[in-house]
Amino acid sequence: MKSPPIVILFLTLLLLFKSVICESGGLYNFTIEPNFSILQYDQFYLSVGTNIFDNDHNHIPSLNPQSNIQIWYKSDACSLNCKYLPLTNLNYSNPLTEAIILNSAFGYSFKITASNLTYFQSTEISQEFRQYGEYLLSIYYNNNTTKVSTSIIGSMRPTQIDTIPIIVMFSILLAMAITFPLLLKFYKSYFKERLQYQQQQQQQQQQQQQPIDQPIDGGNSGVSGAEVGSEKKDRLKSLDVFRGLSVTVMIFVNYGGGGYWYFNHSYWNGLTVADLVFPWFIFIMGIAMPFSISSMEKRGTPRREILKKIIIRSCKLFALGLFLNNGQDLSHWRILGVLQRFALSYLVTGLILLYVPLWRRYKVIPNLENYSLLKNNHIQRGWYSGENLRLLSHNMFADLIPFWPQWMVALSLLSFWFLVTFLLHVPGCPRGYLGPGGISDQGLYSDCTGGAARYVDIKIFTQNHIYQTPTCQPVYLTGSYDPEGTLGYLTSIFLCFLGVQAGRTILIYKSNKSRISRWIIWSIVLCSIAAGLCGLSQNDGWIPVNKNLWTPTFVFLLAGFGYFVLMIMFIIVDIKKLWNGAPFIYVGMNPITIYCAHEILGEYFPLSFYMAVPSHALYLLSNCIGVTCWLVVAYLMYLNKIFINL
């Protein structure tokens, strides 16, 4: 078994993490001791103090018992013009606050204002922090300059760099990826002669057991009975590996991702590692659809029977999704979800492939063997002849031109997303609003989370039947919002259709060079479209990359990444055979089973365990053990030939 070089891809994606740096300042006496035993990972203590209310500063102008200093704060994670929130107040009776616990994953901006202090000017200060630290925000009056200065005094106790555990983990994986092939090579070379000797002995025994009047080849000209009249199915291993990788990362993310923010879904705009896997699975589902439908058509399966299978599979997926949503409380049963998104994307894409006909000039999918005529025509009449140009264009776009009616239907669904999003009137919200609401935009649109997307979901499913704790809630202080909402189905169907395009390339072009070159072009084109729509900016472009909204920008970008990863997998696994896909290929053979099982059993030991005071290292260890358990389960299912298909 060859070790996965895909670890390198993981390390590339991990460039998303940031280093956390804190500055050191002067000394200050802490009068209120914090309790560090209750701090968890990504937490630190911040105290706020001032000397303005000391007795020796009574000569400060307008200083009186009613004087008050307000401290406001906002997290750097809240990046959409968020308003400041009150942190604490300082006055005569409270010149130093108790230590406050804050999150260190992102930096903070602080704003200091005052009342009944005419000389005091509002100031702002920003700082990044480290976990387990102890910091002081000092508001200091200088007698010599008669000015107030604000500073954050660095931690008075040792802090920890939160990225060390994840670096150690991936260093171990990288070391395993390097050493395992070397050990395997040594094993093969050491036992090579012994294996050859055993094979020779087996061949001699088989020859001695053959009847004298029977040919050694079995009488079938070198073709075994199992292979007569049939061709061995060439399964695309890279597709299983890609699918298994997506599900494995999805499990790791759902278990907590070691508590790292970049292994959790983005709060609103932007992209994290966790945002990749769900759309990739839909993309992969689209890749496989041309193969399954084409296979059934070649066997002579009636179209009505194919439609029946598509509908049944979609219903099974949707029902599984409802089951996983836990409808014990029917009054708050969430209707939509991940598997429901799979189901409807699969259903609508299947309907497009079945019932939207090819261009009338093509009764069947093009056969590129006819392209060999181009060479003769090129010699006889020149490359510029009409026949040559026609054959050339058909060869270059054989996976695109015949299917343009289906593309029109897919693009019309995408266009409908634009129409609803930017033209639908949402009460109390600006037209075309794409923000998270809450405290973003200075709190002007607090009840407009997602704009038209949330409005449509509430109208269809009501408030009680959508997701109540979206990822944007803890940062932007929003209400309910469903990231698998109705409008997102339009763009996810289009993403599935982009996967269909990748599958058609495999189905039509038999040359690896032709496949790879087209995937590269698609990857560049789709990523370029995404870059144009978002303006290469997280928040300032026309349509940002947003997983919660499933914006077209998000779909184009993830499809572009999907084409690129598929190309890499195809080269490594299917062409060069540098990696057999283990262990992800086993998950890829039972993806829905492993996904549903981890959702149902994920809270049980040893799949997960919790600590009284967790750290990144322990949380990461727990999540890795859980993922490893499911990899072992998938491998055992493979060994016992258990493949559960819906």
Q: Which of 218-232, 493-507, 619-633 has the highest mean pLDDT?
A: 493-507
Do 247 and 277 form a contact (C-beta atoms < 8 A)?
yes
Residue at token pair 């993309």? 283
Provide the token pair at 352. Answer: 């497009």
Rounded CA separation 458/437 (Å): 16
Distance of CA 37 to CAs 17, 56, 449, 615, Å? Answer: 27, 37, 37, 12
Mean pLDDT over each residue of the chain, to the nearest integer = 82
Q: Which of 57, 265, 378, 616 is catalytic?
A: 265
Distance of CA 279 to the CA centre of its chain: 7
pLDDT at 225 over 50: no
Q: How would residue 606 be classed by pLDDT, with cut points 50, 70 and 90? A: confident
Q: For the chain, list the domains and their CATH numbers.
A: 18-153 (2.60.40), 237-639 (no CATH)
Provide the token pair at 463. Answer: 């408030």
Rounded CA separation 452/114 (Å): 40
Q: In this predicted structure, which of 147-161, 281-295, 447-461, 525-539 has the lowest mean pLDDT? A: 147-161
Rounded CA separation 465/333 (Å): 5
pLDDT at 119 over 90: no
Q: What is the pLDDT of residue 258?
A: 87
Q: Report CA torsion sign: 262, 267, 270, 271.
A: positive
Q: In this predicted structure, which of 21-25, 292-296, 362-366, 567-571 has the lowest mean pLDDT? A: 21-25
Q: How would residue 160 be classed by pLDDT, with cut points 50, 70 and 90? A: confident
**Which residue type sits at 174?**
L
Q: What is the mean pLDDT of residues 131-143?
A: 83
Q: Is 550 left (phi over 0), alpha (psi -120 to 50) or beta?
A: left
265 counts as catalytic: yes
Residue 19: count of CB within 10 angstroms of its CB: 8
Bridge partners of 46, per DSSP, are 100, 135
Distance of CA 452 to CAs 289, 345, 413, 419, 436, Å? Answer: 31, 20, 16, 10, 12
pLDDT at 223 over 60: no
Residue at token pair 């079945």? 354
The model's pLDDT over 444-483, given as tens digits with 9 standing for 90+, comes to 999 999 999 999 999 999 999 999 999 999 999 999 999 9
The model's pLDDT over 382-429, given as tens digits with 9 standing for 90+, comes to 555 555 556 666 677 888 888 999 999 999 999 999 999 999 999 999
Q: What is the DSSP letter of 613?
A: S
**Which residue type sits at 348?**
V
Q: How would residue 26 be classed by pLDDT, with cut points 50, 70 and 90? A: very low
Residue 512: count of CB within 10 angstroms of its CB: 13
Greater pLDDT, 360 or 270: 270
Q: How would residue 505 be classed by pLDDT, with cut points 50, 70 and 90? A: very high
Sheet of 43-50: strands edge to edge?
100-103, 43-50, 134-142, 147-153
Q: What is the pLDDT of residue 394?
A: 66
CA within 13 Å, CB half, 160:
16
Of 73, 77, 102, 74, give the one whose Cα is nearest residue 18.
77
The model's pLDDT over 80-110, given as tens digits with 9 standing for 90+, comes to 999 999 998 888 777 777 788 999 999 999 9
Greater pLDDT, 337 or 383: 337
Distance of CA 387 to CAs 276, 369, 403, 404, Å? Answer: 44, 16, 21, 22
Do 158 and 131 form a contact (C-beta atoms < 8 A)?
no
Rounded CA separation 3/1 (Å): 7
Rounded CA separation 612/399 (Å): 56
Q: What is the pLDDT of residue 229?
A: 36
Q: In this predicted structure, which of 90-104, 601-615, 628-642 has the lowest mean pLDDT? A: 601-615
The helix (run of H) or strand (run of E) holding residue 44 is strand 43-50
Q: How would residue 138 be classed by pLDDT, with cut points 50, 70 and 90? A: confident
Rg (CA), the chain: 31
Q: What is the pLDDT of residue 357?
A: 86
Greater pLDDT, 443 or 38: 443
